């Protein structure tokens, strides 16, 4: 018996068997990798949709009125607190300024003096007139008495005007609200010296029955509004814009709808934007002046080509989809989409036409020219699901 042959067979045959088995496994794996997979496919067709564009906004009250003192004095009383709702004419502050009370008393005394002088001048006229009529004294004496009476009457009128002015100044010691609104900050406390030249106002009263949401749109968006919204004038186009929505800082949708009322006639040369104002009713003063939010503007499209965002992929800032051809292979196609808010769908402006079939999902596993088994999915079921 050949011993060497036996030893070789012990080592070589198992090695050959292992190599053969590995080769078979690799072929099976390669076959599995090359297997054609099925992918869901939808047919794109024009459909009606509503897009929403979001714009960061700052919110102001219908009126933000700074309350400033008209006289010099010390704050004697504060009748309101920060955030308090007030009515027109309601007392806000009392300023201690005794000099104005003294001016009123002085003016009242001057009126009494002037009235006495007028009475005396009238008596003089009444005394001189009959003497002139009897030619006892010259007419010059009567004219002099009448001129003196007119002078005293003018002095009385001046004293009365001084009293009105003094009372007006005295009324400024009580500061009232000029409108219905809500009190803002109170930077000064009782005892603070204030004047008409004080840097900060006593407070601010915000009329927030209606609120203004100010936001900016760029030049391109302004031109799109001008060309897509019907109307012969800017005013008519603004009225044709659908009601807009306000998203508060908490993410909550403000329950009241608003309307865009004004847009600046000039483009800011520094920012290239147009300032726009939307007005919202604010029952219950829910939103305060100085808040921030987002104005959402809807745009209704009658016939738009929509594609789900999951059907697209991006390379160097460009969007692509996989288009299914008649041979059952896929082709990468660039699309240009309309700029709109986030969501589940894109509006395609260029790159696709009605009737094209695209891969619905799983695009990350595809490559150019790969064969697929299409599994038709109803477009209505895809787009209606996201509503």
Please tell me the number of Cα atoms within 13 Å of 385 on its side-chain side. 9
| Residue pLDDT, tens place only, 258-295 | 999 888 877 777 778 889 999 999 988 888 888 899 99
Mean pLDDT of the chain: 85
Contacts 24+ apart (CB under 8 A), 352-355: 352/44, 352/305, 352/307, 352/321, 352/323, 353/44, 353/305, 354/44, 354/45, 354/46, 354/305, 355/43, 355/44, 355/45
**pLDDT over threshold 70, residue 15:** no
| Three-class SS state of 282 | coil
Give phi and psi for 285, each to the nearest 5.
Answer: 50, 45
Residue 385: per-residue pLDDT: 66
- Token pair 């921030």 is found at 292
Averaged pLDDT for residues 202-212? 91
**Alpha-carbon span 299 to 134, nearest angstrom:** 97
| Residue pLDDT, tens place only, 338-378 | 866 556 888 898 999 999 999 999 999 999 999 999 999 98
CA angle 269, 226, 260 (to 5 degrees): 85
**pLDDT over threshold 50, residue 3:** no
| Residue pLDDT, tens place only, 224-233 | 777 777 777 8
**Alpha-carbon span 116 to 122, nearest angstrom:** 10
- For residue 30, with 0-12 CB atoms within 10 Å meaning exposed, 13-18 middle and 19 or more buried, which class applies? exposed
Beta carbons of 355 and 45 less than 8 angstroms apart: yes
Strands of the chain (E only): list them.
Answer: 38-43, 46-67, 73-78, 85-86, 91-96, 174-176, 181-183, 193-194, 203-218, 245-248, 259-263, 273-281, 292-308, 312-315, 318-324, 330-337, 345-350, 357-359, 373-376
Residue 130: per-residue pLDDT: 86
Distances (CA, A) of 232 to 110, 165, 223: 67, 54, 14
pTM: 0.61
**Per-position DSSP letters for 57-100, written without gaps between them:** EEEEEEEEEEE--SS-EEEEEE---TT-EE-TT-EEEEEE-HHH
**Alpha-carbon span 66 to 81, nearest angstrom:** 15
**Alpha-carbon span 143 to 121, nearest angstrom:** 12
**pLDDT over threshold 50, residue 27:** no
**Alpha-carbon span 214 to 56, nearest angstrom:** 8
Give phi and psi for 111, each to the nearest 5.
Answer: -65, -45
182-211 burial by CB neighbour count: b if 16+ within 10 A, else e? bbbebebeeeeebeeeeeebbbbbbbbbeb
CA nearest 312: which of 362, 356, 275?
A: 362
Contacts with 144 (C-beta within 8 Å, 6 or more apart), sequence order: none
- For residue 85, with 0-12 CB atoms within 10 Å meaning exposed, 13-18 middle and 19 or more buried, which class applies? middle
CA nearest 185: which of 77, 293, 78?
A: 78
Contacts with 146 (C-beta within 8 Å, 6 or more apart), sequence order: 125
Averaged pLDDT for residues 106-112? 95
**Alpha-carbon span 179 to 89, nearest angstrom:** 7
3-state helix, strand, coil in the chain (%, to 5): 35, 35, 30
């Amino acid at each position: 018996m050949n011993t060497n042959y036996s030893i070789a067979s012990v080592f070589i045959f198992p090695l050959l068997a292992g190599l053969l088995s590995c080769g078979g496994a690799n072929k099976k794996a390669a076959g599995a990798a090359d297997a054609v997979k099925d992918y869901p496919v939808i047919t794109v067709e024009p459909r009606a949709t509503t897009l929403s564009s979001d714009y960061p906004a700052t919110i102001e009250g219908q009126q933000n009125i700074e309350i400033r003192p008209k006289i010099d004095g010390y704050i004697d009383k504060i009748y309101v607190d920060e955030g308090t709702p007030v009515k027109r004419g309601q007392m806000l502050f009392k300023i201690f300024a005794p000099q104005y009370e003294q001016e009123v008393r002085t003016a009242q005394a001057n009126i009494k003096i002037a009235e006495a002088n007028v009475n005396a001048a009238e008596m003089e006229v009444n005394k001189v007139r009959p003497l002139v009529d009897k030619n006892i004294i010259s007419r010059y004496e009567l004219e002099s008495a009448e001129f003196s009476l007119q002078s005293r009457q003018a002095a009385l009128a001046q004293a009365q005007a001084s009293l009105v002015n003094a009372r007006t100044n005295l009324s400024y010691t009580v500061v009232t609200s000029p409108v219905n609104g809500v009190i803002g900050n109170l930077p000064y406390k009782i005892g603070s010296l204030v004047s008409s030249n004080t840097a900060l106002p006593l407070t601010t009263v915000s009329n927030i029955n209606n609120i203004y949401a100010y936001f900016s749109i760029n030049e391109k968006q302004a031109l799109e509004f001008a060309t897509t919204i019907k109307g012969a004038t800017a005013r008519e186009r603004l009225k044709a814009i659908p009601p807009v929505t306000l998203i508060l800082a908490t993410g909550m949708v403000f329950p009241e709808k608003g309307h865009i009322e004004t847009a600046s006639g000039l483009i800011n040369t520094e920012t290239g934007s147009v300032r726009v104002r939307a007005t919202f009713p604010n029952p219950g003063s829910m939103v305060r002046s100085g808040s921030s939010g987002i104005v959402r503007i809807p745009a209704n499209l009658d016939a738009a080509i929509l594609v789900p965002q999951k059907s697209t992929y991006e390379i160097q800032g460009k969007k692509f989809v996989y288009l299914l051809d008649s041979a059952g292979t896929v082709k990468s196609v660039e699309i240009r989409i309309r700029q709109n808010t986030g969501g589940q769908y894109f509006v395609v402006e260029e790159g696709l036409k009605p009737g094209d079939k695209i891969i619905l999902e799983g695009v990350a596993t595809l490559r150019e020219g790969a064969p697929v088994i299409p599994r038709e999915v109803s477009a209505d079921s895809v787009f209606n699901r996201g509503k």
